[in-house]
Amino acid sequence: MAIGISARAAGEVRAGQTGMAEGRWLPVVLLMPGIAVLLAVIAFPMLYSLYLSFTNYNLTTARSFHFVGLAQYLTLIKDPIFWQAFGRTVLFMTLAVNLEFLIGLGIAQLMAKAIRGRGALRTIMMMPMMFAPVLIGFMFKWVFNSEVGLVNNILYTLTGTAHIIPWLIEVPLGFISLLIAEIWMSTPFMVVILEAGILSLPTEPFEAAEVDGASGWQKFRMLTLPMIMPFVYTAMAIRSLDLARVYDVVRIMTDGGPGNRTEMIWTYVYRLSFTGHNYALGSAMSYVTVIISFLFTWYLFRNVIRSRWEGRE
Amino acid sequence: MNLALGRRHTSFDRAGRRRRWSDTARDIVLYIIILIFFLPVLWVILTSIRPNVEINTRPPVWIPSYLDFDSYKILLGMPTPEGAFALGTQIPFGNYARNSTIVSLVSTLLSLILGGLAGYTFARFRFRAKNTIFLSMMLGRAVPGVALSLPLFILFARLGLSDKLLGLIAAYTALNIPFTAWLMDSFFRAIPEELSEAAIIDGCSRWGALLRVDLPLALPGVAASGIFAFLTCWNEFALASVITRTPASRTFPPGLYEFTGSFVTDWRGMTAMSVMMLIPSVIFVALVQRQLVEGLASGAMKG
């Protein structure tokens, strides 16, 4: 990838002043190793998978496969399970990002004002971030287990009745269980970023508002919230990207089941590719989804990026 | 006490004011919320140290009647009482610990170096197509493990990298570069450029200025990026479950899967291994959480 260097590049000007001859190509030299790794380990395999999506490749007959044009993509378009999984993933992402944001903002607000033991509280709060998503999957599979799970056990202890709620099996309950696991897992990330946002605020506007007799809510609505928006954008952009890839927790808790009831895109792609041995169709589905999430990423990050270097240039 | 904490918000909120009941009430609400978040963690810890008969019971047993560390002993290969039920005996804990440690540390280090250099470049240079290059890098984070695991599985098999630690290290380094570059760009931009310029004028080379001036000031950023990268590698499952086939290269997360047999799940063994997996992460986070949040707050994320 050739990177053109602007003639009036600040780096070059500075380099010129300090007698550094390599100034013009320095950015290329510094960026290249990282970009090379990304090209080799992400871009190239993804192009290879694009090529395979136009063939009838599968893992059992890997030696003989041929070009089939758009056949896999036509199968995909006509596959209702794919589109249901797609819709469910989008719904899951939207609900999770917004709920995590609201809960995270509340906790961050409390955390930023906490008086004692903030370091310890923060470490405990970040525990879910340290858990492997697989473990969280197993943990919540157990939490929502209908026979011996934590939730039904608490209900049992509190009410004394042995009423069994099939959390992971009934239609909205399975989705809700997954949502709770995801929120538990990822709200701490929101808390960390938003707490940093709140701690970064200058004190003067708040003192002025205090003098003017503003209520706590007014201060939050008119001062805190608008001023932490860069943090909000960043946190929500990153979380949206992560949620578009949601896999581990779903794979372990329900594996899309029973009978596709909680199917998400990536559990479906995995099953088609590795269990169903229809690797080429899996690649086609990956591609459609990855391209949609690329467009989404581009859209999300444009706002973050635009404000990024503007102050400096 | 409040002054010692030194947070602007804290000192402002309580400047000259006495602690009110509402402050205490607010803290109590916070403690309760944190406790709810901690509850599943507590349950995992309790399960790993309770006698096996208390695990899948109804009505539930909340407090273990006595502590039983058999599952830990089994994993660590220590002698255990006869007939202790556990799938853990067949699990090569040592191999997983070694593989996870090597893979996580090496990939974290590599992504810090490569991503850090990229972040430095984005922060300090102007060049054509900078935004496009930055965005293209970010797309790397949008590629899901499952989508990548399919072609990597085939390519690594051809290159002889499947079931090798090197393959996993390469994959994780690539996964972590975008976010590291982003964070390090933020942190480097928060450092006044004049400092390194002054060092260069005083006869420092650009590399010298980077290493002696910018890098020490960006250490909170290194801590923040390091912890995110480490946790990603340490806990990643989708790629590891496809690329690693045998204990020779398998890491902890796919290893956890082995506690589920066809008919039984060894919950106690699984939770014991999970608790041991958590220890390095907890130590790491406890050490750097303050730098993480304060670093992010000190202008690094703004704009």
CA distance B118 to chain A (A): 5
- Note whether A112 contacts B57, CB cutoff 8 Å: no
Amino acid at B68: D
pLDDT the model gives residue A5: 39
In terms of Cβ atoms closer than 10 Å to its own Cβ (0-12, 13-18, 19+), residue B160 is exposed
Candidates A18, A42, A206; nearest CB to B12 = A206
Contact B146 A188 (CB under 8 A): no
Most distant CA pair in chain A: distance in Å?
81
> What percent of chain B shows pLDDT beyond 90?
19
Among the partner residues B26, B128, B298, nearest to A113 by beta-carbon distance: B26
pLDDT > 70 fraction of chain B, expressed in percent and rounded:
87
Q: Which of A9, A130, A245 sits opposite B126 (nearest CB)?
A: A9
CB-CB neighbors (< 8 A) of B25 in chain A = none
Cβ-based contacts of B296 with chain A (< 8 Å): 192-193, 196-197, 200, 231
Cβ count within 10 A of residue B55: 19
Residue in A closest to B302 by C-alpha:
A230
Q: How far apart are alpha carbons B244 and B251 in whole angstroms?
A: 8
Q: Is residue B7 very low, low, confident or very high in pLDDT (cuts 50, 70, 90)?
A: very low
Residue B265's SS3 state is strand
By three-state DSSP, how is residue B260 classified?
strand
Read off the pLDDT of residues A178-197 as tens digits, 9 standing for 90 and up.
999 999 999 999 998 898 88
Within 91-130 of A, beta carbons closer than 8 Å to B belong to 107, 110-116, 118-119, 121-130
Instruction: Locate the chain B residue with the closest alpha carbon to A180.
Output: B37
**Which residue in A has a C-alpha nearest to residue B199's C-alpha?**
A18
> How does the average pLDDT of chain A come out, rounded?
82
Interval B105-146: pLDDT, tens: 999 999 999 999 999 999 888 888 888 888 888 888 888 888
pLDDT score of B16 more than 50: no
Taking CB atoms within 8 Å and a gap of at least 24, the contacts of A147-150 are A147/B56, A147/B58, A148/B55, A148/B56, A148/B57, A148/B58, A148/B60, A150/B39, A150/B40, A150/B43
Which residue in chain A is spatially nearest to B198 when comparing CA positions?
A18
The answer to whether A230 contacts B43, with C-beta atoms less than 8 Å apart, is: no
**pLDDT (0 to 100) of residue A2:** 37
CB contact under 8 A, B237 and A279: no
Q: Is the pLDDT of residue B12 over 50?
A: no
- Sorted by where each starts, the structural domains of chain A and their CATH numbers stand as 1-52 (no CATH), 71-312 (1.10.3720.10)
When CB atoms are compared, the residue of A15, A38, A187 closest to B177 is A38
| Predicted local confidence at residue A39, as pLDDT | 93
Res. B164: pLDDT tops 50: yes
Which stretches in chain A have pLDDT values below 70? 1-23, 62, 162, 303, 305-313
Query: Which residues of A fall within a CB distance of 8 Å from B37?
Result: 124-125, 127-128, 184, 187-188
Checking ipTM against 0.90, whether it exceeds it is no
What CATH architecture applies to the domain B91-300? Orthogonal Bundle (1.10)
Chain A (208-237) residues lying within 8 Å, Cβ to Cβ, of chain B: 230-231, 234
Cβ–Cβ under 8 Å, residues A49 and B150: yes
User: Is the pLDDT reported for residue B18 higher than 60?
Assistant: no
Q: Where are the domains of chain B?
A: 2-89, 91-300
Residue B101 has a pLDDT of 95
